[in-house]
């Protein structure tokens, strides 16, 4: 499995609302797990807060290896949230473990804050972002 395969699996799990499958893709050191230390807590939260989001499309447009154990991928996500069509760019950090590639964290960019269309986003847009919040 590649980093892109991991992201594709996460997208498909989101489409199916398979919160256990999403949770299983997190790296043990992911900041996300500090907020949601167990699957049941996350699944309850997800059912209450994420059920209004319908994932529509996903595309990985770029990948860079930071080292043999870490990869960053830029993905474009398209979704519907409560009837509002949304698109965003996300820089995902994946880490190779004995279980394969796992999702560590991500940085999002709002298309309204970009000077280029989402399809032209590259690593420099994330590198130069003012707010580099990884979640």
Give residue limits of the domains in the chain.
Answer: 3-127
pTM: 0.93
Which residue, among 73, 75, 72, 74, has the nearest Cα to 57 in the 3D structure? 75
- CB-based contact 82:52 (threshold 8 Å): yes
Q: DSSP assignment, residue 16?
A: H
Sign of the torsion angle spanned by Cα atoms 77, 81, 85, 86: negative
CATH topology classification for 3-127 = Nuclear Transport Factor 2; Chain: A, (3.10.450)
Render pLDDT for 6-43 as a digit per residue (tens, 0 to 9).
Answer: 999 999 999 999 999 999 999 999 999 999 999 999 99
């Amino acid at each position: 499995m590649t980093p892109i395969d991991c992201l594709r699996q996460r997208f498909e799990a989101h489409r199916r609302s398979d919160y256990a499958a999403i949770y299983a893709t997190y790296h043990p050191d992911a900041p996300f797990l500090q907020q949601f230390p167990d699957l049941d807590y996350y699944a309850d939260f997800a059912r209450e807060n994420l059920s209004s989001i319908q994932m529509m499309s996903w595309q990985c447009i770029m990948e860079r290896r930071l080292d043999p154990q870490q990869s960053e991928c830029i993905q474009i996500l398209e979704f519907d949230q409560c009837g509002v069509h949304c698109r965003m760019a996300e820089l995902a950090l994946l880490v190779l473990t004995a279980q394969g590639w796992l999702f560590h964290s991500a940085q999002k960019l709002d298309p309204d804050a970009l000077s280029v269309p989402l399809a032209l986003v590259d690593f420099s847009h994330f590198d130069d972002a003012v707010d580099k919040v990884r979640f």
